[in-house]
Amino acid sequence: MFEWPRVVQLNACIVIPFYNHPGAIARVVDELKPLGLPCFIVDDGSDAQSQRVLTQIASTMSWVKVQRLPENRGKGAAVMAGCDAALDSGFTHALQIDADGQHDVADAPRLLEQARRQPAAMISGEAIYDSSAPRSRRYGRYLTHVWVWINTLSFEIRDSMCGLRVYPLAATCAIWRESRVGQRMDFDTEIMVRLSWKGVRIIAVPTRVTYPRDGVSHFRMLEDNVWISRMHTRLFFGMLRRMPALLSRRVLHRRSSAAA
């Protein structure tokens, strides 16, 4: 099991995985500026127009650094590259937010405050949708939540697909350095399950999510659902191997809660 270092002070940054969202990224970055945190934007092989937008942002905002991947490898690959760069730069935590403008940046301070209080935990947004959210996405997310509860033998993970979250970097980066982790749309869910398996506490913070009318989604209905289905299957067999340890942890947790 991962052994936690002593986190004396939260040293956080922002990581934004980016792929062809030229119309939204400037607004997202501008809304993040009041947080006063350095920002890593990881360009996952975007087109020329998007690259020009990122170059303009980096040239006018000294707190933003753009990291380019030579070809599109997937959201997970971009998050991993950004988190690795953040950890190597001395940061302890990364606020990850998607580049499409769906998430309410005003909720980010509440996630960061939870991270300050619980530096060993992963802090995850729990999406609160308005009427703009497609029904198909809501149903698909609920099915994933059920699989997550099965694969962790726990209801602790309230939302495994929200793109607003705070990672404890040392523990998170250790996951993909010792295990194979999905690099595309399967990443968000898989990394949370694997952190839970390691005993990392997952704390949910409600956050508002809006689907802009002119928003661009890179979710590929067929291909990404295949990747997600394979991920759930892989995690299920991983859960079976870990079942004795997971059940034992649940029993100990109940006993300690009762004693308290």
Mean pLDDT within 8-23: 90
CA distance 237 to 41: 34
AA identity, residue 67: Q
DSSP for residue 133: S
Residue 136 resides in a domain: yes
pLDDT for 174 equals: 97
Under the banding of pLDDT at 50, 70 and 90, the label for residue 251 is confident
pLDDT for 145 equals: 86
Residue 244 has pLDDT above 60, yes or no: yes
Residue 203 resides in a domain: yes
Tell me how many domains the chain contains: 1
Containing domain of residue 103, as a range? 12-259
CA distance 133 to 131: 6
Mean pLDDT within 121-146: 76
Residue 64 has pLDDT above 80, yes or no: yes
pLDDT for 229 equals: 81
pLDDT for 116 equals: 95
Q: What is the DSSP string of 149-187?
A: HHHHTSS--S-S--SEEEEEHHHHHHHHHHS----STTH
CA distances from 3 to 6, 45, 65, 171, 224 (A): 10, 35, 30, 8, 34
The crossing angle, in degrees rounded to 10, of helices 48-60 and 25-32 is 20
Residue 2 resides in a domain: no
Residue 1 has pLDDT above 60, yes or no: no
pLDDT for 250 equals: 76
Residue 162 resides in a domain: yes
Residue 3 resides in a domain: no
Residue 8 has pLDDT above 50, yes or no: no
CB 90 within 8 A of CB 144: no
Residue 224 resides in a domain: yes
pLDDT for 4 equals: 39
CB 141 within 8 A of CB 25: no
Under the banding of pLDDT at 50, 70 and 90, the label for residue 135 is low
Mean pLDDT within 176-187: 90
pTM: 0.85
Residue 32 resides in a domain: yes
pLDDT for 7 equals: 44
Residue 3 has pLDDT above 50, yes or no: no
CA distances from 54 to 30, 33, 200, 239 (A): 13, 15, 34, 40
CB 151 within 8 A of CB 99: no
- The neighbour count for residue 24, using CB atoms within 10 Å, is 19
CATH number for position 65: 3.90.550.10
Residue 4 resides in a domain: no
Mean pLDDT within 23-48: 95
Residue 40 has pLDDT above 60, yes or no: yes
pLDDT for 138 equals: 58
